[in-house]
Amino acid sequence: MPPLPLRGPQGAPVLALVGWSGSGKTTLLTAVLPLLTDAGLRVSTLKHAHHKVDPDQEGKDSFRHRAAGAHETMLATTERFVLFHDHRSGADEPDLPALLARMAPADLFIAEGFKSASVAKIEVHRPMLGKPSLWPDLDDIVAVASDAPLAAGGLPVLPLNHPAMVADFILRWRADTIA
């Protein structure tokens, strides 16, 4: 029996964009986001990075709070807030469900990366990169977005360079998921 689909706060569906580095995941996500919001959805995103990232700046008060040992530090302005949560040495990286639990409700959550998470996925694949497709090894891929024609084992193949068609697929997928 397949696992139940991963849900975000208040049961909102979660979809991940996965693919090799340089395949265009971020480019596709930033192209479909305005189309999804124009369709009336409130969309929240999560980005997984495999390398060390620190969006805080040395010398800033929030950085100093963290350096002094704060477990969490929130930086708030009139436009947004950012929550810094530091993992102590040896602590496990939080998984996708744990991260979703910290987010505010939305109509749809799109994760970039999180290839190993048990969540519905669209693979972003560019054959010209010379990397193998992920769909044969990941049974939770629901479609492949590619810039070239390819056989994907019966999965829908979406035109990577036509974000409106990818957004339409996501809207249909979301509607089927919440039905």
pLDDT in tens, 133-152: 999 999 999 999 999 999 99
| pLDDT value of residue 78 | 85
CA angle (55, 113, 116) in 5-degree steps: 125
Whether the per-residue pLDDT at 51 is higher than 60: the answer is: no
CA 143, 144, 149, 154 torsion-angle sign: negative
CA 136, 48, 174, 118 torsion-angle sign: positive
Element housing 97 (H / E): helix 96-101
User: Which domains, ranges and CATH numbers included, belong to the chain?
Assistant: 9-51+93-178 (3.40.50.300)
* Higher-scoring residue by pLDDT: 146, 68: 146
With contact defined as beta carbons under 8 Å apart, do 38 and 32 qualify?
A: no
- At 61, the pLDDT band (50, 70, 90 cuts) reads confident
Rounded CA separation 177/126 (Å): 27
pLDDT in tens, 76-133: 778 877 776 676 666 677 888 888 888 989 999 999 988 989 999 999 999 999 999 9
Measure CA 145 to chain center: 15
Q: Which two tokens stand for residue 101?
A: 């639990």
Helix (H, G, I), strand (E, B) or coil at 47: strand
Q: Read off the pLDDT of each residue in 15-42 and give the average, rounded to a whole number.
A: 96
Is the pTM higher than 0.75? The answer reads: yes
Q: Read off the pLDDT of each residue in 42-64 and give the average, rounded to a whole number.
A: 73
Rounded CA separation 21/170 (Å): 22
